[in-house]
Amino acid sequence: MSGQTFYKDQVNSFLKRRAFLLRLGLVTGGIFLNGCYQKAKKNAYNISGNLIGPNAKAGHILRDKTKLPQPGAVKKVKTLIVGGGISGLSAGRWLKQNGETDFEIIDLENYVGGNSHFGQNEVTAHPLGAHYITVANNDDTLLLDFLHEINVITHYENKLPFYNEYFLTFDPEERLLINGEWQEGLVPDFGVPPADKKQIKAFFAEVEKLKNTKGSDGKFLFQIPVKESSTDESIRKLDQISFDQYLKAKGFNSKYLLWYLNYACKDDYGQKATKISAWAGLHYFASRRGTSANAEQNAIITWPQGNGWLVQQMQQKLKNHIKTSQMCCELEIKSNGKVHALIYDVQAHNTQCIVADHVILATPQFVNNRLLKDIERPIDYQQFSYSPWLVANITLDQLPSAKGTNLCWDNVVYNTPSVGYVNATQQQLQLAEDRKVFTYYLPLCDHEPAISRLAAYSRSYEQWLAIVMPELELMHPGISNSIENIDFWIWGHGMIAPTKNFIWSKNLQQARKSMADKIFFAHTDLSGISIFEEAFHQGINAAKQVLNAKS
Amino acid sequence: MNKKLPALLLISVFVVATCGLIYELIAGTLASYLLGDSVTQFSTIIGVYLFSMGIGSWVSKYFEKNILSWFIQIEILVGLVGGFSATILFLVFESIASFRIVLYGFVSLTGILVGLEIPLLMRILKDRYEFKDLVSRVFTFDYIGALLASLIFPLLLIPHLGLVKTAYLFGMLNVAVALIVCISFKKQIKAVNYLQTASIISILLLTIGFVYADKITSFSESQTYSDTIIYTKSTPYQRIILTKKNKILRLFLNGNLQFSSDDEYRYHEALVHPGLQALPFAKNVLVMGGGDGLAVREILKYPNVSSVTLVDLDKGMTSLFQSNKILTRLNKNSLLSPRVKVINADAFSWIKGQHRKFDFIVIDFPDPSNYAVGKLYTNSFYRLVKDLLTPKGLMVIQSTSPYVAPKSFWTVNKTLESVGLKTIPYHNYVPSFGEWGYIMATRPENPYKKPLQYLPGLKFISKESFELMLYFPKDMSKVETDINKLNNQILVKYFEDEWANIL
């Protein structure tokens, strides 16, 4: 399916319909003319809102090597953590838990959380990026401990974690608009021919088998974190072909199944199945085995503000260590073994030098490429490809009624460019208010990421409306009249894309290595999969290395 | 006669055709609204309508003299009949047994009158055109009018005006044609003044109908309730409707019956007394839901109860039952008692912040018919309620009908058990609801003891009747179900399935 033609057809038919109505109004003469005309005269949708995103301008200071003022002050800190996303926060948490308190986490934004960032309006808090986790794998004790610590796991029953019932996604959970009706669940079913259903069943049987298979090294074939997966060549070689190729080779050709798997790739990695490696494509389905005392396997855990809630929990305990609006511009390892970091305060517009024993770069590699410009790092940065995303938060009163399943937490439409929207008010306990906020996710994957990114940065608010509204109207005819506000948020480098020959490449192995036991790396782009769990382990991993390193 | 007149008559054809089709569509839509099965309704209405038009055309040959005057009279008549059709049909729907006879009578009458129009018009115009031109022009305008009607009816008229106003609007157009023709052909018509006056009066009548159309539709709402509506109010949460018939008051929330004053005592006595009578020490009582104050009325019969806290979402509801004379007579001013504190809050949010303990808790929420209310029947909610119970305390929950919805009823039971409570399910017969269910729950270490006697003056509950209520016959006996949780909301699904068979 091509997203581009979708927009065009939608817009054209929309225009035709509008013109037709207008003419009809003229014919009836006088009585209705006024109303129709006024509606057409206003901008297409009469919706207000903002177009924002992470501080690209500050980021571009790095890229464009803008001249900065000379550092005014010098500050010493034992460990400097650059980047306050989940990786950086997790590293800080680990240091603190292990008695190390001399550290600082800096972030160039005026908030921490990276792409788990969230927003808040008068209706509800809502995600701007990452918005859920799943029940943890039972062998992931580090993660289980953390979840227990923050009361996501309240207690254990028969050795099984009992998840906080206010955080498990409230029912109804997922629905898909397909063949004219909202069906329950996201796997195509309503109006799907038996032959396709058979393939869908076969695919899930296949991944169920993979899920429970261990390699010759005794490790599961697919594990979270990624690095704990089996090293068996027979399975790792799946990283060299695309998911699409893999599926074709397996004889899967049902358009419904392929749509679903393509949707999954877009949802998890921001890219289509033709771009994603087969290993990564399967990892999503075959790596989650978490069970619990009170929820289904793989049950989803979420909050109104998405993973922003997790950020708040981590942040609270690290309050005194976090400095925001601080951009690291340059790193240098001095002959005395100290690392000098040049820090630019994007609000005060001054610079300082932080002298650290160790630095954890909890930043993506495209940023590190600029930070480490004078330090040789034998890797190819071009191999790291990041998917751009548009996230739209839609405030509306009363959703038009539709055929089939009621509003769910996750709402997806078959064969459209977006991956649907989540209802930020799902976890509300009060009797539902009519006003809601929907967080709509659109992966910009129709072109190469660099091109999509550039195009995304250059679009105006109205242009985004023209892209998003036809799809929303398709989901819910008449929804335009209920929408009060849409805020657009653009992630230029939304998440790492696990393309072919990436996750198990020599290049990535090399990129994970610390530099002279001074600079350590923690980021999901080093796992190849952008999920909370990976970031969490990345941080711990780097913190452990710091604790082991001699000062 | 000047040259403009034929053109005027052709425009009349156009308007007449539009109006004619609109009446047909109104009748069809109304019939499918009120009777359901739109395919049958539309096809029979169209059939009857077309056939009646045929009759009209056939009858037209009997009109020999004063055709123009006849045409004007028919226009006025069509306007009146068509204009008032929707209103009359709406109003008679509830009150007469053979609605269909009235409906098809109207359709036939309109059909016959509309069927008369075109032949008469053609005869008026026959000397002014050649036959082939006449036929071509008249039918062209006729069919264009029909197209316009069929397009604007669903796209503009129904969404913007509604059925009743649309009918009046086109009635006015019809009569306007009569009036204009009347004025233009003044010299050729006998009794022109009479016809003019008649059309002006008709237009006025139709305009009045148009202006008051909203009043009429709300009156017709009152007709869908069999009793007289004495009070209606839309609050942010619900539409409250109170009806009265032969001294019997009925309260409807969003169209669902909440109580009927002749038998509500059966429900409220059953809800309150088996529990509260067993707690002679009870001082503090909590009622959640139950903004009508009827459960509180029963609770206040116990002198040992010193404070009742009522938590109800809707201030509109509690205020009504504090101020309306008829209603305060019914709840014996319970919500105005100094022992009672009314809190308007969302139960789930309210209970999360509570620490005060209660000896007796009554949960009287609406049935779990949607996901929002379903949350108030989950284990998470019951866990919070349990925390508010004093060690020897007891709670009781209205739990829908164990006869109609056994799975729903036993799900509530199972969910209460899952949070570590010992349950005592029971039921009774409330004529306006049917067989109804309640569940009491205590901490297992302080099991429930059946009261040996009840307060004097109760109309339903006694030691003996309660014994019967504890027994579940086979058709209501316990079924295995899951626990209702926030993340599965199975109760809402069961409830929907089970009541779908009834409603």
Range of lowest pLDDT (A23-32, A482-491, B161-170)? A23-32
Question: Of chain B residues 378-407, which have a CB less than 8 A from chain A?
Answer: 378-380
Please report which helix (H) or strand (E) contains residue B315, including its range.
Answer: helix B315-323
Cβ–Cβ of B156/A295 closer than 8 Å? no
Put simply, whether A294 touches B (Cβ < 8 Å) is: yes
Number of helices (H) and strands (E) in chain A: give both, helices first: 16, 21
Range of lowest pLDDT (A212-221, B113-122, B439-448)? B113-122
Residue A432 has a pLDDT of 60
Interface test with B, best of A164, A170, A300, A425 (most B CBs within 10 A): A170
Question: Of chain A residues 299-358, which have a CB less than 8 A from chain B?
Answer: 299
Put simply, whether B161 touches A (Cβ < 8 Å) is: no
Residues of A in contact with B156 (CB under 8 A): 24-25, 28, 32
* Residue of A25, A165, A406 with shortest CB distance to B371: A406
CB pairs under 8 A between A and B: 59
Distance from CA of A297 to the nearest CA of B (A): 13
Nearest CA in chain A to B148: A28
Check: CB of residue A353 under 8 Å from CB of residue A72.
Answer: no
Rounded to 5 degrees, φ, ψ at A413 are -120, 135
B157/B175 Cα distance (integer angstroms)? 19
Cβ–Cβ of B372/A431 closer than 8 Å? yes
- B336-358: per-residue pLDDT in tens? 999 999 999 999 989 988 999 99
For residue A172, whether the previous peptide bond is cis, meaning omega lies within 30 degrees of 0, is yes
Residue B32 has a pLDDT of 65
A488/A47 Cα distance (integer angstroms)? 12
Nearest CA in chain A to B349: A430
User: Is the pLDDT confidence value at B54 over 80?
Assistant: yes
Residue A25 has a pLDDT of 37
In Å, what is the CA distance from B197 to each residue of B66, B192, B204, B480?
18, 9, 11, 75
Closest by CA to B397, choosing from B418, B356, B427, is B427
Residues forming beta bridges with residue A404, ordered by sequence position:
A182
User: Is the pLDDT confidence value at A194 over 50?
Assistant: yes
pLDDT confidence tier of residue B66, bands split at 50, 70 and 90: confident
The percentage of chain A sitting over the pLDDT mark of 90, rounded to a whole number, equals 76
Burial A91-102 (b: 16+ CB within 10 A, else e): bbbbbbeeeeee
pLDDT confidence tier of residue B502, bands split at 50, 70 and 90: low
Residues of B belonging to the active site: 364
Residue A29 has a pLDDT of 39
Residue B280 has a pLDDT of 95
Check: CB of residue B129 under 8 Å from CB of residue B13.
Answer: no
* Residue of A32, A294, A295 with shortest CB distance to B156: A32
B489/B498 Cα distance (integer angstroms)? 15
Nearest CA in chain A to B151: A24
Put simply, whether A293 touches B (Cβ < 8 Å) is: no
Number of helices (H) and strands (E) in chain B: give both, helices first: 19, 11
User: Is the pLDDT confidence value at A150 over 90?
Assistant: yes
A115/A56 Cα distance (integer angstroms)? 14
User: How are beta strands A410-413 and A174-178 bridged, if at all?
Assistant: parallel
Between these two residues, A175 and A65, which has the higher pLDDT value? A175
pLDDT confidence tier of residue B139, bands split at 50, 70 and 90: confident
Rounded to 5 degrees, φ, ψ at A390 are -115, 130
3-state secondary structure of A114: helix
User: Is the pLDDT confidence value at A5 over 80?
Assistant: no
Residue B38 has a pLDDT of 62
CA angle A238, A244, A246 (to 5 degrees): 40
Residues of A in contact with B373 (CB under 8 A): 431
User: Is the pLDDT confidence value at B210 over 90?
Assistant: no
The first and second tokens of residue B477, run together, are 């006996």
- A216-247: per-residue pLDDT in tens? 999 999 999 999 999 999 999 999 999 999 99
B116/B112 Cα distance (integer angstroms)? 6
ipTM of the complex: 0.73
Q: Checking phi first, is residue A82 left (phi over 0); if not, alpha (psi -120 to 50) or beta?
A: beta
Task: State the sign of the Cα–Cα–Cα–Cα dihedral B459, B462, B465, B469.
Answer: positive
- A287-323: per-residue pLDDT in tens? 999 999 999 988 999 999 999 999 999 999 999 999 9
In Å, what is the CA distance from B93 to each residue of A17, B43, B230, B361?
37, 20, 20, 45
Q: Counting beta carbons within 10 angstroms of the beta carbon of residue A78, is it exposed (0 to 12), middle (13 to 18) or buried (19 or more)?
A: middle
B64/B70 Cα distance (integer angstroms)? 9
pLDDT confidence tier of residue A529, bands split at 50, 70 and 90: very high
Contacts of B218-225 with C-beta under 8 Å, sequence gap 24+, read B219/B91, B220/B90, B220/B91, B220/B93, B220/B94, B223/B90, B223/B91, B223/B93, B223/B94, B223/B95, B224/B94, B225/B250, B225/B252
